Amino acid sequence: MNGDPASSPQITAASPWPVKPDSCLNIGLTYEGLSALQLPEISLSSFPSEFKADYAVRARNVDDSGESAPENWIVGGPNTPTPHMLLVLYAQSSDVLESKTTTLRSLFAQQGAMSELSHHDGNALPGETVHFGYADGISQPTIDGVASKRPDSQPVAPPGEFLLGYPNQFGGKFEYPVPKPDELGNNGSFAAFRILKQEVDAFEQFLRDTAPKIGMSVEMLAAKLCGRWRNGVPLVLSPDTDTPAPPIAEDQVNNYDYVPGDVRGYRCPIGAHMRRSNPRGESIAGGDGHKRRIVRRGMPYGPPYDPTNPNDGIERGLLGLFINVSLKDQFEFIMSTWLNDGDFAGVNNTRDPLTGNNSPADSRFVIPNQKGTQTVTGFPRFVIFLQGYQDKCTRKRASCQLSIGIDSELLKSF
């Protein structure tokens, strides 16, 4: 990363690839990392307050409490060193990943400028799923000017929802000021990095115990909680089976809305995970549901879950990056107002059933149908946050500029 492509890995540019590379390297810098690089005060002061704030303090805004409280985090919390940089390395194979990782660690050791606070390996699961068994990555936003494999009926998202310096949905180019200098801010993004531990055994046990009590199959209950069948078929398009005939085309599996056809949630419960995290055309707190989009980049960690060998003691979860231009108005708003607000869209005293801060004492999930309403209670939290901090994802040119003249005493952690 010293500017010599022949001697060190290079940060991956966003330009189109003639040939898909065998690896990609991205970095994000925390506010403390930018301070350690001795950016001028005029530049540091231009960053938004939520980025400059202690993330462990802001954790209350996204309901990180109990087992997910910052005091329990493995990095980024009040009882751990403060990270300066997030380095993300993707590779096409484990051999390439190991080789690139070895090279990077060797370079850092030679420079004596960085120490590794934590290291987390992830691997894509068969079928592009998460450990709970759901197909993942289906409902990414369609960005204006970028072709989508799975278009939907929502308005396309302007680039300014995810890249600083471009028009966005909330009033134009300058709604969110670009940090200074422009070379550092323009074309950059803010991202929340989260390690999401998934309690797979507890989730599967809950499905087995609860489904018979409410007259549902395990797979139907799993679909109601999420808003999609585990194979990715949305309930709105196929409420009774995960194998509709004729099958839903791949390019149509994300092309649906909740209004006007499912206002009451008879097909997809209003409180389901997919409906809370992406309300689409519904009018809810914060305006229209198609706004406040984020780009998600995630990678499972831990081996595939084997239902024939439960309670194996192996931790499983997801390494997640949530990318936007405003941590406060996008990521934090979604986490607090949509996922964990007890009064989402008129469904009182509930939280997101999959990722919300639930406890057996007060958890509640409502499944409406034309004959009445079924209410599921007593379930625990299925996702626990082990780590969280916020990064400024820089564009390549700015990253190269930041790397010039780094003193070994300035960067104490990475």
Instruction: Tell the burial category of 251 from Cβ atoms under 10 Å away from its Cβ (0-12, 13-18, 19+).
Output: exposed
Residue range 20-75, pLDDT digits in tens = 999 999 999 999 999 999 999 999 999 999 999 988 888 888 889 899 999 999 88
* Residue 77, SS3 per DSSP: coil
DSSP of 276-297, one letter per residue?
HH--TT-EETTEETTSS--EEE
- Compute the average pLDDT of residues 130-154: 89
> What are the CA-CA distances from residue 176 to residues 110, 167, 398 (Å)?
39, 9, 19
Q: Is residue 372 part of a domain?
A: yes
For residue 406, pLDDT beyond 90: no
Do the bridges between strand 189-198 and strand 317-324 make them parallel or antiparallel, or are there none, so unpaired?
Answer: antiparallel
Distance from C-alpha of 242 to C-alpha of 264, rounded to nearest angstrom: 21
Q: Is residue 130 part of a domain?
A: no
Distance from C-alpha of 34 to C-alpha of 83, rounded to nearest angstrom: 11
Q: Is residue 242 part of a domain?
A: yes
For residue 309, pLDDT beyond 90: yes
Residue range 287-303, pLDDT digits in tens = 667 778 999 998 999 99
Q: How confident is the model at residue 175 (pLDDT cuts 50, 70, 90)?
A: low
Q: Is residue 109 part of a domain?
A: no
Residues in contact with 154: Cβ distance below 8 Å, sequence separation at least 6, in sequence order: 141, 142, 257, 280, 281, 290
Closest CA to 289 of 374, 169, 188, 164: 169
Q: Is residue 133 part of a domain?
A: no
pLDDT: which is higher, 406 or 238: 238
Q: Is residue 111 part of a domain?
A: no
Number of domains in the chain: 1
366-370 LR contacts (CB < 8 Å, sep 24+): 366/269, 366/270, 366/271, 367/214, 367/224, 367/269, 368/264, 368/265, 368/266, 368/269, 368/270, 369/266, 370/266
Q: What percent of the chain has pLDDT over 90?
A: 64
Q: What is the model's pLDDT at position 211?
A: 98
> What are the CA-CA distances from residue 319 to residues 197, 299, 301, 316 (Å)?
9, 5, 7, 10
Q: The whole model's pTM is what?
A: 0.90
In the block, tokens 């092309």 appear at: 255
Distance from C-alpha of 251 to C-alpha of 92, rounded to nearest angstrom: 25
Q: How far apart are the first and last CA of the chain?
A: 14
Kindly state the tokens that stand for 254. Answer: 């994300």
Distance from C-alpha of 361 to C-alpha of 380, rounded to nearest angstrom: 8
The string over 275-304, giving b where at least 16 C-beta atoms fall within 10 Å of a residue's C-beta and e elsewhere, is bbbbbbebebeeeebbbbbbbbbbbbbbee
For residue 173, pLDDT beyond 80: no
- Compute the average pLDDT of residues 131-141: 93
Neighbours of 182 (CB within 10 A): 12
Beta bridge partners of 198: 383
Residues in contact with 35: Cβ distance below 8 Å, sequence separation at least 6, in sequence order: 44
Q: Is residue 333 part of a domain?
A: no
- Compute the average pLDDT of residues 377-388: 93
Q: Is residue 358 part of a domain?
A: yes
DSSP of 319-353, one letter per residue?
EEEEEES-IIIIIIHIIIIIIS-TTBTTBTT---T
Q: What is the model's pLDDT at position 398?
A: 53
Range of 350's domain? 199-293+338-387
Backbone phi, then psi, for 94, in 5-degree steps? -65, -35
